[in-house]
Structure 1
Amino acid sequence: MASTATEVDAVELAVMSSRFEGIVRQMENTLLRAARSTTLAISRDFSCSLATADGDLIAVGEGLPVHVYGASLLNQAMLEAHPVVQEGDAFLHNDPYTGGTHAADYSLIVPVFIDGEHMFTAIAKGHQADIGNSIPTTYMPHARDVYEEGALLFPSVKIQESYEDVADIIRMCQRRIRVPEIWYGDYLAQVAACRVAERSLNEFCSRYGREKVVAFLEAWFDYSEIRCQEAIRELPAGHIEARSHLDPFPGLPDGLPLMADIDVDNTTGTVTIDLRGNADCLPVGLNLSEATAVNGVIAGTLYVVNSQRESRTPRVEFNAGSFRCFDVKIRENCCVGIPRFPRSCSMATTTISERLFPLVFYAFAELVEGWGAAEPCYGHPPCFGVVSGYDPRKGGDYIAQLFNGTAGGPATAESDGWLSLVAINCNGLLYRDSIEVDEAKYPLIITQSQIRPDSEGAGRTRGAPGNLCEYGPLLDEMRVHYQMEGIVHPARGVRGGDGPTVCSAAVVGPAGGVTERPEAVAAVDLQPGERILSRSAGGGGYGSPLERDPDLVLTDVRERYVTLGRARDAYGVVITGDPDRFETLEVDRAATSELRAGRLG
């Protein structure tokens, strides 16, 4: 029997919030298992979320941070385009000018009806293998506008009515997208994820009753707001000027200064972040969408308040209640704000976005010992490239976003960097590709993928090292699109920590000769026998490397993250033994103490 009580106690709050998280995880598992592209089914470059009919974010599961903010914007765009929605409707949205992230992220938006009333919105967002760009990649940093970019844009276009596909829209996508069967498989997986949520939400509301669920949502958002206020009150009060600088790019010969003015109010438990001082929209594809601009600085602040020693769960929930504590000031026609059509936002989930997150938490780390983190890995070298070509085995073209490596996360005051971070705005939630699956699906061969020794930012806690990856075509010519960043303005260590080694790329010839490819944005054509070598960056260190526990340095040497020479030169730790036999390695404590004392003196 459905409950009619409208009060929600603490136990019910915990149980019902967990049920919403569980429904999102059902969506995620459905999408992961049903998707057709390796981008979604292997690398997990997707996010699912639930919102109210008003667009207030309820739950995100393991959503990528860069994806999940903006549920209210997507919901608003849906209702503005379609003031009357019906049960069985579904809408396709990838428009960066009305709530989307960037054109490559297709969101399926489904209004969920309870007893005939639109009560929830289910959203499944996934990075597509291809979106009809003028060249075979979903990232176009050089695009001067959306027309040069060439992507198909869907501003909340109805793609299902009465649970049936709108065939015209499907045909448009299948005609324009280079791998139509893969796109359609991924689309069906997104539909399935949202329909699973629809069914589960109806069951949930049938059990508890509409009044109880409405009371829960109000209590849940209020509780989350209070928790966020409590965490913010522990931050240092006052004004912080956060600054960074993007590397030069095609069309940006001097790079781009980036800024955020942050004001922490300890009395109200609120944070104001002003992004309006950034440059106007750029004549290249690096502009952020509104969702990615606001998300970056909110998530960067939540990284700070959720970094608690021995905490097994986030202290602050990522939902609409917590968002009440943030006032992000942006302006129209700003590269970190509200983009003005037709400026391109092709790279809105990378590049500037990846600078925006650490812009906040690095500033807090510089301000107060124990807070924030160093800067993370920057750039997307070839291990994260988009490969394309012709597959003679299947008699057709292929295109795929690879995630065949890792890149290093930044150190915090309490912990070393996350080895498989990939990018800070994905928070380590992207999965690495399976080498065997990639080689089976595409005509390529991956000859190495391993840790890049000595690439970490040294510190009392160290950044994670980068990755070495090498691959090439198996049967026919292959094109690789990629872009690198953080070379001219590399990631920084904090509070005495060192910066990491930067990313780079090279072509390895059939005879083993190596030709460096230093360009920031590249389209490299490889012939069979040639390979591209990807060297990804590590993360910055936190605190002086001479304060690092020698036993931790020993472990890093045994794991081959760090060589004997770097252990001595960077950390002041003398290790004896045979480097090829890890069991013989030991710290020479007397020599280490003497070496460190000499450097400190």
Structure 2
Amino acid sequence: MLDQVTYQVIHGGLRALAQEMKVSVMRTAYSPIVAAGGDMSAGITDTAGRVVAQGQDIPAQLGALPSSLDAMLGSWDRELRPGDVLIGNDPYDCGSNHINDVCLVMPAFFEDDLLGFVCTRTHWMDIGGATPGSFNARVPDMYAEGLRIPTLQAYSNYEPVRDMWELIFANVRGRTEREWDLRAGFAGCVTAERGLRRIAGRYGPGSVKEVMARAIADTESRVRARIAAVPDGTYRAVDWFEGDGWVDTPIRLEAAVTVAGDEIEIDWAGTDDQVRGGVNLPLSSTVGVGIYALKAALAPDVVPNAGMWAPLTVRAPAGSFVNPRPPAANQASAAETIQRCADLLMMCLGQAVPDQVMAGTFASATVLMLEGRDPVSWRREMLRRDRAVFMDNSPGGMGGRISGDGVSGIKVHTGNARVPSIESAEFALPIRALRWERVPDTGGAGRERGGCGVAREWLILDDDVSATLMAERARVPAPGFFGAAPGSAARYVVNDGDVDARHLPSKSAPITLRAGERFLLQSAGGGGYGSPLDRNPERVASDVLEHYVSAESARADYGVVLTETCEVDVEATARERAGRQRATAQLDRGSFTYGPLNSDGFAHDFEL
């Protein structure tokens, strides 16, 4: 048995190697969403395909990684040798979270001894289908979403399998970019393969395998101890998803989290059946969001690997919204549905461990897929294309939590990609940024305030620019926890403020924008945590000075009266709050509040 120092050195080396994979992928990729946005993930497994180390990447992609490894390695019936690489993207056959995320799996050998497998998952900006960027909820089935790749071989002995490459690239937009996306994923795999060889060469392959097994066992032991500390019981919650892109009918999400000893089960019985639009959540992602919630709420400091999800069981009715049958469309679920499911699981776990969860978040990738004429002549010639695709994904408000306010303008839950820079967007397409700013009064009022949403507005500079929106929280805002207010709803508007302004639902079919038109994305704010009447008045005054909260909201929502110089009027504030405390003394402090959604006054309450 290895001593503790050697174990930690090898274990740390494996985790560092997973991060090195990410660097290799990002430096090799061409498309901005990977090279600048980091929309990719990497992992290392043992010989059985159990995840041992993973990068600090995209939780949605990492959560589906166990499903991908089981499906791809389980279905491959031929021997894999050094330099062989499998490829797959199908959520049903390959355990992917959606078809834009293409998974590569490669064996890693030391001489003739299999050490394990290395894998990357890279977001391709386009994977074919009816819509540029392959992102559109308003499709009838998965065949319209893009190219489905079952488990196939992309490389043999480190060389591309040319027939396979030609078949793939004949069915996607931006062939040259997509080829470099594939090469980037391969570069990450080779980086890890070489790194494993170095470690095995220094410490021996037996030591590497011992560390892998021990790391998984250690994580499982720690996670089981965390689960055992949670009171046994079943914790239920219900939420509503904002339609499927075809109709605005809300889709019911219901989850029950059961803790029994050192085991935890998530049951999605009661969730609506699968729908027509591309928002159905594949089972791989339903399992993945369960892994995320377990780690985020109960074990944030525990090293993630296969031991993390060993105590977890996920049940989802076949044919439901969270376990659809093929060929149900599902492309947008990796950006939207999975985020709403994460919020719902926090509502469940908040009943058991209220000090370990955040309130409701903006829960969306807020994807605006733009396609138009490439404005750069030399790039059009080099990439052999006339039109380009750009994916904008705006951040929003995080929920408040016991330790502090929610962060404003941030990615939350299962999304961890960087927001594209203004410069990269303006270089990619004929568009210009008019504003990118935090919006005051959008975070839910609470003892700990919800994070604010952001406004990101684009001016279109050319005719015939296609825009497809994929977002959430325009009708169902982020709930406040434990007596707090909800965050504001999102707004998606063409020509905001004009007489011809068009307010869009959170999911739209492609629309054509003309030169001079403006597209506004204003993301939702996060819900607050705890009663706003318990917030320190000095913190409210600071919020006003820093433009998180207006002076009007300070009084209306927090009961804080400010002077003209933005100082707290202590006596007036005490009177204001005293009256409100008498009026709200009977409120259930364990409630989850949605409040009014829009001008129509629609509201619904959290269900236990």
| Superposed pair shares fold, TM > 0.5 | yes
Unaligned runs of 5+ in 2: 381-385, 583-608
Q: Which amino acid aligns with 1:69?
A: G
Q: SS where residue 553 of structure 1 aligns? A: helix
Deviation at residue 485 of structure 1 after TM alignment = 2.3
Residue 390 (structure 2) aligns with: 400
Q: Give yes or no for the alignment of 1:300 onto 2:281.
A: no
Aligned pairs (5 A) from 1:193-272: 193-266=188-261, 269-272=262-265
Cα 1:546–1:331 shift into 2, 3 Å: same
Give 2:141's match in structure 1, choosing from 123, 137, 145. Answer: 145
Contact 1:54-1:75 within 8 A present in 2 as well: no
Q: Compare 414-423 and 60-69 and name the one that shifted more.
A: 414-423
Measure the CA separation in 2 of the matches of 1:588 and 1:479. 52
Q: For 1:152 and 1:406, how far apart are their aligned partners in 2?
A: 28
Q: How many residues align?
A: 572
The yes-or-no answer on 1:274 pairing with 2:257 is no
Look up the SS of the partner of 2:8 in the other structure: helix
Question: Deviation string for 1:340-384 (max 9, x for gaps)?
Answer: 222222123133211211211112224554242211114454xx3
Cα separation, partners in 2 of 1:378 and 1:73, compared to 1, 3 Å: closer
Give the match's secondary structure for 1:229.
helix
Structure 1 residue 89: deviation in Å? Answer: 0.7
Q: Which amino acid aligns with 1:155?
A: P
Structure 2 matches for 1:350-429, cutoff 5 A? 350-367=335-352, 369-381=354-366, 384-394=367-377, 395=380, 396-403=386-393, 405-426=394-415, 429=416
How far residue 247 of structure 1 moved from its aligned partner, in angstroms, is 1.8
Which AA in structure 2 matches 1:555?
Answer: S
Aligned equivalents of 2:210 and 2:363: distance in 1? 44
Deviates more, 1:169-178 or 1:227-236: 169-178
Q: Quick one: which amino acid aligns to residue 568 of structure 2?
A: V
SS in 1 for 2:553: helix
Deviates more, 1:90-99 or 1:554-563: 554-563
| Aligned counterparts of 1:571 and 1:12: Cα–Cα separation in 2 | 55
2:369 maps to amino acid: V
| 1:431 CA displacement | 1.1
Match for residue 537 of structure 1? 524
For 1:156-167, list aligned pairs within 5 A. Answer: 156-167=151-162
Aligned to 2:503: 517
1:322 maps to 2:316 = no
CA distance in 1, matches of 2:287, 2:371: 33
- Aligned partner letter, 1:414: S
Aligned to 1:107: 103
SS state at 2:108 partner: strand
Query: Which one of the candidate residues 6, 9, 23 is aligned to 1:15?
Result: 9
Counterpart pick for 1:555 among 525, 534, 542: 542
- 1:482 matched residue in structure 2: 469
Change (3 A) 1:245 1:568: same
* Inter-CA distance 84–76: structure 2 relative to 1 (3 Å threshold): farther
How far the C-alpha of 1:556 sits from its partner, in A, is 1.9
1:291 and 1:474, CA in 2 relative to 1: closer, same or farther beyond 3 A? same
Contact 2:257/2:348 (8 A) holds in 1: no
Moved over 4 A (4+): 511-514
- Counterpart for residue 309 of structure 1: none
Compared CA separation, residues 176 and 466, structure 1 to 2 (3 A): same
Is this contact kept in 1: 2:82–2:108, CA < 8 A?
yes
CA distance in 2, matches of 1:565, 1:315: 40
- Shift of residue 110 of structure 1? 1.4
Counterpart CA distance in 2 for 1:200 and 1:61 is 14
Are 1:596 and 2:581 matched, yes or no? Answer: no
1:77-126 residue CA offsets vs partner (Å, 9 max, x unmatched): 33313431111111221010121111111112212122223322211112
- Retained in 1: the 8 A contact 2:368–2:469? yes
State the Cα distance separating 1:489 from its structure 2 match: 2.7
Corresponding letter in the other structure for 2:104? L
Letter aligned with residue 125 of structure 1:
R
Q: Distance in 2 between matches of 1:342 and 1:185?
A: 29
Contact 1:54/1:72, CA 8 A, preserved across alignment: no
% identical aligned pairs:
27
**Deviation of residue 16 (structure 1)?**
2.3
Q: In 2, are the aligned partners of 1:173 and 1:180 still within 8 Å (CA)?
A: no
Q: How far apart are 1:248 and its partner, in Å?
A: 2.6
SS at match of 1:169: helix
Is the Cα contact below 8 Å between 1:507 and 1:517 reproduced in 2? yes
For the 8 Å contact 1:553–1:573, the answer to whether it is kept is yes
Secondary structure of the residue aligned to 2:118 is: strand
One-letter amino acid matched to 2:519: I
1:513 CA drift (Å): 5.0
Task: State the AA in 2 paired with 1:274.
Answer: D
Query: Structure 1, residues 315-362: CA drift from partner, whole Å, max 9, x if none?
Result: 33321012111111234333313x422222212313321121121111
Name 1:177's counterpart in structure 2. 172
Q: What value does the CA root-mean-square deviation take over the aligned residues?
A: 2.0
Unaligned segments of structure 1, at least 5 residues: 1-6, 307-313, 579-584
Aligned partners of 1:189 and 1:72: how far apart in 2?
21
Query: Residues of 1 paired with 2:352 and 2:481: CA distance?
Result: 10
Q: Is the deviation greater in 557-566 or in 140-149?
A: 140-149
Over 3 Å counting, the alpha-carbon distance change for 1:466 and 1:378 in structure 2 is same
Aligned to 2:481: 494
Separation in 2, partners of 1:20, 1:397: 41
TM-score, normalization by structure 2 = 0.90
Counterpart of 1:433 (choices 420, 428, 431) is 420
Separation in 1, partners of 2:493, 2:336: 21
